[in-house]
Structure 1
Amino acid sequence: MPRLYHLIRLCLTAVLLAMFVARPAAADVGMVPNFTADCHAATAQERRVDQMLTRAAWTCSEADWRSDVPAVWLRFDSAGWEKDRLPVEFFSRTARFESISFYAVDTDGTIRTRHMTESAGTPVPFGPVFTMPLPPITRDTAMLLVRVEAPHSVPLLTEARISHDHTRTQWPHVNLLLLALVMGMLVLPLLFDISFFLVLRERFVVIHAAMVSAMMVYILTAGGLITTLVTLPIAVLAVLAPLSYAIGGGLSALFLLNFLERGAQSRLMRRITLWGGWFTMIVPGFMALQLDATQPFDDVGYFITYLPFIGIITAALLEALVRGSRSARFLAVAWAPIIIASVERLLRGLGWHVAPQSFDHLLYIAVGIEVVVISLAIADRFFALRHERDAALSEARKLEQLSTRDSLTGLMNRRAIEARFEELIAQGFDTFALVDLDRFKAINDLHGHQMGDAALVACADAIRGGSDRDTIAVRLGGEEFVVLLRGERSLERAEALRQAIPMRIAQVVPGLDLPVTASMGVIMLADADRHQMKFSEFYARADALMYEAKASGRNRLAYERLTVFSPPPKAGRRRAA
């Protein structure tokens, strides 16, 4: 929790810094009284310039901006122009439109006209704006009228400017440095995602990488940073920015769906989040294309269809927080700034309030904060999942050990040795010794099963072989054991292990009336790796030899050295104790 509070303080500090940086730049302040449109008018039908001069209903305030009409007129009055610094260039936010017509109206009624299509606009290499040259402006010019046909964006109109110096259309270098910093903040999480995915094959890592990529495209296009690298048409820049933002928004919903812990969302909320993500990518994404047929409604539609997404994300986070989700805490910190900045951008896009272009920095920095904090969340989840997986692997190893180890002695059991038998034969374990304790039933009958179990454990310790990698001991069940040996003098080593059994039992199990001996049947097979022998065949042959040893008086070894394996002789006999 202290780490989370520190992260929250860091994010709030970054937002405050963003608000400070996002204040209107000096160039904006200098242009506001002289180079913004004094009045504007939306026309639902074709109007000539003379009609706009005589019968137009101009709105000379920052209200009633519309982009859902065939054309919008802007009026720049010359009252504040400096006579030796007359406007020569028009510029505004990069957005789609059909054409822009300029009318320089002199005091004597002379009108100089220039008509330019969307493709004639020139993107500025340092900012999300485009420029167009004005018709000649003279000292006798009374006003400049600008007719924007089929505009697709309110900011295209509200942020329109005219300037006497083309360099004033470029962003200050501090803004470019800020955008470059945000891009750097996005590159690092992308690299982290690649690294995390190599270790943690989780879907949410891939979704986050795609989300970061979409946000990088948005920063490059909406911030105008891409124009420093490559020249793209206005139509491409105008579509890529909102489209990438819609895709990034939809991916964030899918990321939330896959990133939250199990139980952090109800089944209904999971469905709503899933459909909300796809809806955001499809519907606002379609509006972002700004087709000619959708011009009357795509600007408003783009922002309005974002409202369900904001509501769904907020509701999903609140539900996850109420359910105690740790991941939701990170997401709340990451997405609070971007939700606030998105709402501000939405209100500005709908024309409900007017703000300088530098307010876009709020959204850019919020995007940077979001991906960095979510990268921290992914790292936190990575370590949590790794811990869970390590615990699961440890538990699986324990279960595997329980299934392949004898619970009393800790030796491998029959299931384990049968599964590995061919592999062990190939590794050179060519001596198979079957061990059976003599008269073991009497120990259980006279001294109880607890002492009998102690004797079995002592027997297992005697034949285990210590750290000898050429000896493997197995408990088959009851008082019966198998010892596999490889290397030189395997028969002598097997006999030494058999003789160690009575001494070990007498040492650790006091109170027995007689020493506990063992009988052993041993099979030694030359070139064992050349034969396809099963465990059951070895066992049957060794079992026959072991009973020969018992029939000969017990406490001894019977062995057979085979060069060609043959089935054991069939003999019906009772099992000796």
Structure 2
Amino acid sequence: MARRVACGLWLAMLLLAAPPVLAETEPATTPSPVAPACHAHSDADVPLAAMLAPGRVWDCNGGGWDDSAPVSWLYFDAASWAGSAPQAFFTRISRFERIDIAAVDRGGAVRRAAHDERSARPIAAGPVFTLPVPAITEATEAVVVRIAGPHSSTMVTEARLTSDPESTDWGMEEVLLLAIVAGILVTPLIFDLHFFVILRDRFVLLHAAMVVAMIAYVILAGGLAPLLFDISLVTMAIGAPLAWTIGVAAASFFMVAFLEQEALSPLFRRAMQAMGWWSLFGLSFFGLQFRWTQGFDNLGYFLGFVPVILVYLACLTQAVLRGSRSARFLAIAWVPILAASTERLLRGIGVYAGPSTLDELIYLALALEVMIVALGVADRFVAIRRERDRAVAAALRLSDLSERDPLTGLMNRRAIDLRFGELRASGYEALAVFDLDHFKAVNDAHGHEVGDRVLVTVAQVLRSDPDAFAVRIGGEEFVLTLRGDDIETRVERLRQKIPVKVAREIEALDTMVTASVGLVTAQHESVQDMTFILLYRRADALLYEAKAKGRNMLCSETIDGAARANRPMRASSR
């Protein structure tokens, strides 16, 4: 179907680009469809003869339409077709029980044709169906149409006779316009799919559902469906109003999900959601047009939209007054649709009669709506992405603060607990515990400010190895996890660098600051289940061994499935 709509769109543009050619190929004169001169309503048992009897009251002033009556009558005067004998009767697609068409001659002769819904033929010339008219002769003075069980006022107000069964009130331009509108409506679905893949937000799916329903409405209510596939009158008559009510329901839920949280009060949000459910179930019920609901379903369907329109307007007004950026897009997009829907509502309940081409107002409003709302969805998409990016950045900052030592900038104990498994998987197989010798004496002699500077300097030394992950456990104790070659040599080099760096950076010190280190290496291939706690305890035990042997040295151990003997190494003090 999408391919056919796209082809229709292409053809529409091609034909609209060449109006002179169309003008040359069209007939010089095309007889206009003939409207009824009078109409009337009656009970189901009133015969044609009684309607044509003298004294029978007909309304010939264009008012008094009543879709709840069991039978509607239309009187077409022969004088109105001016020599072009009608061949077909057409009217707006809607459900009915039976249509009888009678050609009445002077002298009382009558030729009749009876039709039910199955014999009605939808045509691709607007939202109409046609029925053949009995033979018209020079003696024919009128055509009288009896419509039993009409479900719509417009079925009566928009009824016409035509001398061309393929010609209605709709011209080629209107049909091409529908094809263009249908093609435009397809475009937002691509954007919705793209946005949902990235954003995963519910309002994108609701907008897609609304667009799909509107595409179905344009194709069914606009009369494009017979161009695309073989379809019955009943399917079109029920499908169009159902597509509209589903679209209205999706739009209600879309508004609630799309607008910013503060744009609507809780009361207005609940009211809008209620309108969505009312459209989905209440209005859809009237749109089904059951036989037993014929007397009230048309009025119920159209008047049922009154509270929906009022709630829409109230919610849009409140959201705009509250400064909602998204509501401005919806107001610009939806006010034309609400206006066109109100016009259709008034025609639908028979307040006045008008041609079906007035429906173009709705189709044009829909095309405008999808373009504006697509811009609004894109704008909201950018805003939500920006908000989420800020939230993620803030969460990362908080996480970083909770895992980082504020003094030295190194990670803390919580960080290594969380990441140790990942570090081991990345090849970090050694763990060294550094502890500064006699650090309390530094604090006592020079104060905590100098002591803090010493800790910051030590952190700089430990951070200098690109294949090491440095952590401050607490106080003057640091942990280093390492990967790569010559780990023991690199750890010893860092240990020896500490007093040199501290002495150069902190001139106030009059004593050498040294460190003792316990290093344990657990080769990943042979010891895969080694935990941080187990490695830390082994390294800490080696650290105490270094302390016991005089400090300022490194004691190491390699674990390859069975612990080897400690291999202490004393570092020279400089």
TM-score for the superposition, normalised by structure 1: 0.89
Name the counterpart of 1:287: 286
Q: State the alpha-carbon separation in 1 of the partners of residues 35 and 524 from structure 2.
A: 97
CA separation of 1:524 and 1:203: change in aligned 2, threshold 3 A: closer
Shift of 1:45: 4.6
Structure 1 unpaired stretches of 5+:
1-25, 570-577
Match of 2:322 in 1: 323
Q: 1:493-522 deviations in whole A, cap 9, x for unaligned?
A: 111001111122222222111121111122
Task: Give secondary structure in 1 for the equivalent of 2:167.
Answer: helix
Partner of 1:21: none
Q: Please say if 1:262 is aligned against 2:261.
A: yes
Aligned partners of 2:44 and 2:70 also within 8 Å: yes
Q: Distance in 1 between matches of 2:452 and 2:198?
A: 46
Corresponding position of 1:251: 250
Distance 1:320 1:269 in 2: 10
Offset at residue 143 of structure 1 (A): 1.1
Aligned to 1:52: 51
Measured in 2, the distance between the counterparts of 1:526 and 1:233 equals 77
1:9 matched residue in structure 2: none
| Cα distance in 2 for residues equivalent to 1:244 and 1:482 | 67
Give the equivalent residue in structure 1 for 2:5. Answer: none
Structure 2 CA distance for aligned equivalents of residues 427 and 191 of structure 1? 41
For residues 162-181 of structure 1, the aligned pairs below 5 Å read 162-169=161-168, 171-181=170-180
The yes-or-no answer on 1:514 pairing with 2:511 is yes
1:355 paired residue number: 354
Match of 1:498 in 2: 495
Instruction: Provide the residue aligned with 2:130 in structure 1.
Output: 131
Q: Aligned pair in 2 of structure 1 residues 425, 141: CA closer, same or farther (>3 Å)?
A: closer
Report the alpha carbon displacement of residue 411 of structure 1 after superposing the two structures with TM: 1.5
Please report how far the alpha carbon of residue 555 of structure 1 lies from its aligned counterpart in structure 2 after TM superposition. Answer: 1.9
Task: From the superposition, tell whether residues 121 and 567 of structure 1 become closer, same or farther in structure 2 (CA, over 3 Å).
Answer: same
Task: Determine helix, strand or coil for the equivalent of 1:167.
Answer: coil
Matched to 2:334, the amino acid is W
**Cα distance in 1 between the residues matched to 2:542 and 2:399:** 33
**Partners in 1 of 2:423 and 2:526 — Cα distance?**
9
Task: Please give the alpha-carbon distance, in whole angstroms, between the structure 1 residues aligned to 2:49 and 2:209.
Answer: 52
Aligned equivalents of 1:426 and 1:210: distance in 2? 46
Q: Which runs of 5+ in 2 are unaligned?
A: 1-25, 567-574
- Could you tell which deviates more after superposition, 440-449 or 67-76? 440-449
Amino acid at match of 2:358: F
Correspondent of 2:547 among 547, 550, 575: 550
Question: In structure 1, what is the Cα distance between the partners aligned to 2:257 and 2:103?
Answer: 58
DSSP-derived class of the 1:178 partner: helix
Secondary structure in 2 matching 1:553? coil
Name the TM-score, length of structure 2 as normaliser. 0.90
Q: CA 1:162 to 1:527, structure 2 compared with 1: closer, same or farther past 3 Å?
A: closer
C-alpha distance in 1 between matches for 2:481 and 2:461: 14
Matches within 5 A, 1:358-507: 358-466=357-465, 468=466, 470-507=467-504
CA distance in 2, matches of 1:103, 1:288: 30
Which sits farther off after the overlay, 407-416 or 168-177? 168-177
The question of 1:190 aligning with 2:200 is answered: no
Deviation at 1:565, TM superposition (A): 4.8
User: Residue by residue, what CA displacement relative to the aligned partner does 1:37-61 show, whole Å, maximum 9, x if unpaired?
Assistant: 0000111352222211123211102
Is the CA contact (8 Å cut-off) linking 2:68 and 2:295 kept in structure 1?
A: yes
Tell me whether 1:105 sits opposite 2:104 in the alignment. yes
2:127–2:223 CA contact under 8 A, matched in 1:
yes
The secondary structure found in structure 2 opposite 1:80 is helix
Map of 1:82 onto structure 2: 82
Moved more, 404-413 or 167-176: 167-176
- Residue 85 of structure 2 aligns to a residue whose secondary structure is coil
CA RMSD, 1 decimal: 2.1
In the alignment, the residues of structure 1 paired with residue 524 and residue 373 of structure 2 have an alpha-carbon distance, to the nearest angstrom, of 62
CA deviation map 1:531-563 (0-9, x unaligned): 532222222222222223223332222223344
Worse-matched range after superposition: 169-178 or 90-99: 169-178
Alpha-carbon distance, 1:75 to partner: 0.6
More deviation, 513-522/536-545: 536-545
**In structure 2, C-alpha distance between the alignment counterparts of 1:142 and 1:563, rounded to whole Å:** 112
Structure 1 contact 438–554 (Cα < 8 Å) conserved: yes
1:171–1:496 distance in 2 versus 1, CA, 3 Å: same
1:539 to 536, 540, 544: 536
8 A contact 2:35–2:161 mirrored in 1: yes
Displacement after TM superposition at 1:528 (Å): 6.0
TM-aligned CA deviation for residue 478 of structure 1: 0.7
CA distance in 1, matches of 2:560, 2:102: 110
Query: Quick one: structure 1 residues 422 and 90, their matched pair in 2 at CA, closer, same or farther if it must change by over 3 Å?
Result: closer
Q: Deviations over 1:314-357 (max 9, x none)?
A: 11111112222111111111110000000000001011122221
Structure 1 window deviating more from structure 2 (147-156 vs 170-179): it is 170-179
From the superposition, tell whether residues 568 and 210 of structure 1 become closer, same or farther in structure 2 (CA, over 3 Å): farther
For 2:334, the equivalent position in structure 1 comes to 335
Q: Does 1:70 align with 2:67?
A: no
> What is the alpha-carbon distance in structure 1 between the residues aligned to residue 369 and residue 139 of structure 2?
53
Aligned to 2:572: none
Deviates more, 1:334-343 or 1:471-480: 471-480
Question: CA offsets, 1:418-467, max 9 Å, x none?
Answer: 2332443343333222111112112222222222111111101111134x
Q: 1:425–1:529: 8 Å Cα contact kept in structure 2?
A: no
Contact kept? 1:520, 1:549, Cα under 8 Å: yes
Tell me if the contact between 1:430 and 1:525 (Cα under 8 Å) persists in the aligned partners: yes
1:98, 1:151 within 8 Å by CA — same for their partners in 2? Answer: yes
Task: Measure, in 1, the Cα distance between the counterparts of 2:523 and 2:121.
Answer: 88
Distance 2:102 2:426 in 1: 94
Q: CA deviation at 1:170?
A: 7.0
Q: Is the 8 A contact 2:87 2:164 kept in 1?
A: yes
Query: Which whole-Å CA distance do the structure 1 matches of 2:243 and 2:303 have between them?
Result: 17
CA contact (8 A) 1:126 1:228 kept: no
Name the CA shift for 1:211/1:347 in 2 (closer, same or farther; >3 Å).
Answer: same
The residue type paired with residue 445 of structure 1 is: D
Kept after mapping to 1: 8 A contact 2:100/2:113: yes
**Shift of residue 527, structure 1, vs aligned partner:** 5.5
Residues 424 and 524 in structure 2, CA contact (< 8 A), matched pair in contact too: no
DSSP 3-state at the match of 1:409:
coil
- Residue 556 of structure 2 aligns with which residue? 559
Give, in whole Å, the separation in 2 of the partners of 1:455 and 1:198.
51
Provide closer, same or farther for how the CA distance between residues 542 and 292 of structure 1 changes in structure 2, counting only shifts above 3 A: same
Q: Is the CA contact 1:126–1:227 (under 8 Å) kept in the aligned structure 2?
A: no
| Structure 1 position 99, deviation (Å) | 1.0
Q: Residue 262 of structure 2 aligns to a residue in which SS?
A: coil
SS at match of 2:100: strand
